Amino acid sequence: MPALRNPRHELFAQALAQGKSAIDAHELAGYKRSRSTSSKMQRQDRIVVRVQELLATRDKAERAATEIAIQKVSLTKEWVIQGLMENAQRALQRQAVLDDDGKPIGEYHYQGNVANRAFELLGRELGMFIERRETGVPGEFAAIENMSGPELLEFLAARLQPSSPDEQDETRH
């Protein structure tokens, strides 16, 4: 979709795409400050479509710029992994500090937190860890921790049973 025919509408859409509130975008587009008018205008189909197009164009340009930057500095997964491995080795004092000729000139100090972080990032990259998060209302599952085995089985059975006749039919097939 090309720019909107009405220049004020185009300015409004561009301001929304930049993250401005509807009322601020409305004012930036040259309109009198009005919450209700700006809210209505924000919901107009052509405005919504234009904002989505502007956002998509911006995202595409940002991705392309990132790819170019990565190519310019030769950033690869291999380079990142090698750097993390080197950091872990140094943090664990497994490598001596060497000069340009390869002669030892000192030693690294043990930094377990640095090594652990490098291992964590490497493990994530290799898919070794599963991130677990509680979802739902905070504390929703706290009662489960105090349930006995039979209580827990009863609780789970109740949650797994279909709630509507249609769902019951689906489970039989």
Is pTM beyond 0.85? Reply is no
Q: Residue 32's closest CA among 23, 40, 19? A: 23
- DSSP H helices in the chain: 7-17, 22-28, 35-42, 45-72, 77-91, 112-125, 142-145, 149-160, 165-172
Unique residue bearing structure tokens 């750097």: 83
Walking along the chain (173 residues) 10 residues at a time, the average pLDDT comes out as 90 94 95 93 94 93 87 81 87 79 81 88 84 68 76 81 58 48
pLDDT at 134: 65
Q: How far apart are CA 51 and CA 58, in angstroms?
A: 11
Give one word for 30, left, alpha or beta, with left for phi > 0 and alpha for psi -120 to 50.
left
Q: What is the chain's alpha carbon radius of gyration, rounded to the nearest angstrom?
A: 29
Q: Bridge partners of 96?
A: 107
Task: Tell me if residue 108 falls in helix, strand or coil.
Answer: coil
Residues 6 or more apart in contact with residue 130 via CB below 8 angstroms: none
